């Protein structure tokens, strides 16, 4: 028999190969691992089992790998993903550690990042988020999580029906003074290149006389999970809305840039403003469904980005959390009925 050069197909590690996953009320599922000499090798060997656990629970915190430095951590993240994405259209800059491996978004430590799904306004978004905590803050800074199907079920029916009918609008102004710059959001500040990106990603745009760029994109607010089929509240209507901003920051930005010149804001799909009362309801429902486990240095967190919203709570002291956006999903893969209909 001729020898084959094809490597043997690795045997998938069954889910039962994982030690028991701790499931406690108010906390995400936690897997405690024994100390391992090579975290990347461990991640590769348990990849299928870890991903199966995320598919079942929506997220999984892995504690015990002792991730302390970016190179090893990057290797772990790459072993777990089908592919790491480049950060595009971000609303806050990230530091790049390596291809596909970034810092968490730069956001004032004393301000919360309210619940959201990563890049829920983009045509292509990550199906899986990978986080690793290299240094836990002295106080606060947890990555909270909320089940998007449960959030959807808990929202007022009329509100859901309107957003389901119309979708939601994200409006952005890029003025290179506040918020992400053109280069940070589009990978270039070259006007024709930015315009090409917008046209090919269903984003309306207009250059203002002062050179700033305004964009507008309409997206579905609810997506059906590609694996479970469950409908999920998948958007950033609350987090990127002006009423979620700190009131003093909001007042300052409106004073300086005008009500239509905020770095970002959200609206109903027909262009109507979203009221403060609605934003409050959305954030309250998220709060009621939030689970959290304070970070410890060395932790790894896997999050199903469609099924599970995440937040970042205010913190004090140094905090180093790496993030990777993995397993790209295109809107057409999840039957976004509003695809390509920005208005």
Smaller CB separation from Fe ion, 89 or 118: 118
What is the rounded CA–CA span in Å between residue 89 and residue 273?
A: 22
Strands, sheet with 320-330, edge to edge from the N-terminal-most edge strand? 21-22, 30-32, 59-63, 300-304, 124-135, 320-330, 101-103, 96-98
213-252 residues near Fe ion, rule: CB under 5 A: none
Smaller CB separation from Fe ion, 46 or 310: 310
Q: Give the contacts of 163 (CB within 8 A, at least 6 positions apart).
A: 221, 222, 235, 237, 268, 269
94-153 residues near Fe ion, rule: CB under 5 A: 118
**What is the biggest distance separating any 2 CA atoms in the chain, rounded to whole angstroms?**
79
List, as one string, the DSSP characters of 29-63: -EEEPPP-S-HHHHHHHHHHHHHHHHHHHSEEEEE
> At closest approach, how far in Å is the CB of 238 from Fe ion?
13
Smaller CB separation from Fe ion, 118 or 242: 118
Taking the CA of residue 29 as centre, how many other CA atoms within 13 Å lie in the half-sphere pointing to its CB?
Answer: 21
65-84 residues near Fe ion, rule: CB under 5 A: none
Smaller CB separation from Fe ion, 237 or 342: 237
Smaller CB separation from Fe ion, 118 or 313: 118
Smaller CB separation from Fe ion, 40 or 303: 303
> At closest approach, how far in Å is the CB of 342 from Fe ion?
23
Smaller CB separation from Fe ion, 118 or 304: 118
> At closest approach, how far in Å is the CB of 114 from Fe ion?
10
Strand, coil or helix: 225: coil
> At closest approach, how far in Å is the CB of 324 from Fe ion?
12
Smaller CB separation from Fe ion, 119 or 220: 119
> At closest approach, how far in Å is the CB of 246 from Fe ion?
18
> At closest approach, how far in Å is the CB of 145 from Fe ion?
11
> At closest approach, how far in Å is the CB of 341 from Fe ion?
26
Q: Give the contacts of 272 (CB within 8 A, at least 6 positions apart).
A: none
Q: What backbone phi and psi angles, to 5 degrees, belong to 70?
A: -60, -35
> At closest approach, how far in Å is the CB of 59 from Fe ion?
13
**Total binding residues toward Fe ion, as defined by CB under 5 A:** 1
What is the rounded CA–CA span in Å between residue 316 and residue 141?
A: 8
What is the rounded CA–CA span in Å between residue 306 and residue 166?
A: 20
Contacts with Fe ion, 261-280, as mask; x by CB under 5 A: --------------------
Please choose, from the candidates 299, 293, 292, the residue with its C-alpha nearest in 3D space to the C-alpha of residue 134: 299
- Relative orientation angle of helices 70-80 and 39-57, to the nearest 10 degrees: 50
283-322 residues near Fe ion, rule: CB under 5 A: none
Strands 59-63 and 30-32: parallel
Residue nearest to Fe ion (CB): 118
Residues binding Fe ion (CB under 5 A): 118
């Amino acid at each position: 028999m001729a020898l084959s050069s094809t490597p043997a197909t690795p045997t998938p590690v069954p889910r039962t190969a994982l030690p028991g996953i701790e499931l406690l009320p108010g906390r995400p599922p936690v897997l405690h691992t024994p100390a391992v000499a090579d975290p990347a090798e461990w991640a590769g060997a348990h990849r299928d089992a870890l991903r199966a656990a995320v598919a079942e629970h929506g997220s999984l915190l892995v504690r015990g790998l002792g991730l302390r430095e970016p190179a090893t951590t990057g290797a772990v993240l790459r072993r777990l993903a089908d592919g790491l994405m480049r950060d595009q259209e971000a609303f806050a800059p990230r530091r790049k550690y390596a291809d596909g491996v970034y810092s968490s978004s730069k956001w004032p430590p004393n301000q919360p990042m309210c619940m959201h799904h990563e890049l829920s306004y983009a045509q292509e978004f990550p199906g899986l988020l990978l986080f690793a905590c290299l240094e836990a803050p002295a106080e606060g800074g947890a990555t909270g999580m909320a089940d998007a199907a449960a959030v959807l079920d808990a929202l007022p029916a009329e509100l859901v029906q309107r957003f389901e009918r119309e979708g939601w609008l994200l409006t952005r102004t890029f003025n290179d003074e506040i918020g992400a710059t053109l280069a940070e959001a589009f990978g270039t500040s070259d006007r024709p290149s930015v315009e090409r990106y917008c046209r090919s990603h269903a984003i309306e745009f207009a250059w203002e006389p002062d050179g700033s760029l305004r964009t507008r994109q309409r997206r579905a607010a609810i997506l059906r999970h590609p694996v479970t089929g469950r409908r999920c509240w998948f958007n950033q209507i609350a987090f990127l809305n002006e009423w979620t901003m700190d009131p003093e920051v909001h007042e300052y930005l409106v004073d300086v840039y005008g009500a239509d010149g905020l770095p970002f804001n959200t609206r109903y799909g027909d262009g109507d403003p979203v009221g403060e009362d609605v934003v409050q309801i959305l954030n309250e429902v998220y709060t009621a469904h939030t689970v959290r486990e304070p970070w410890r240095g060395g932790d790894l967190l896997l999050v199903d980005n469609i099924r599970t919203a995440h937040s970042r709570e205010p913190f004090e002291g140094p905090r180093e959390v790496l993030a990777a956006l993995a397993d790209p999903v295109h809107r057409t893969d999840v039957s976004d009925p509003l695809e390509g209909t920005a208005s």
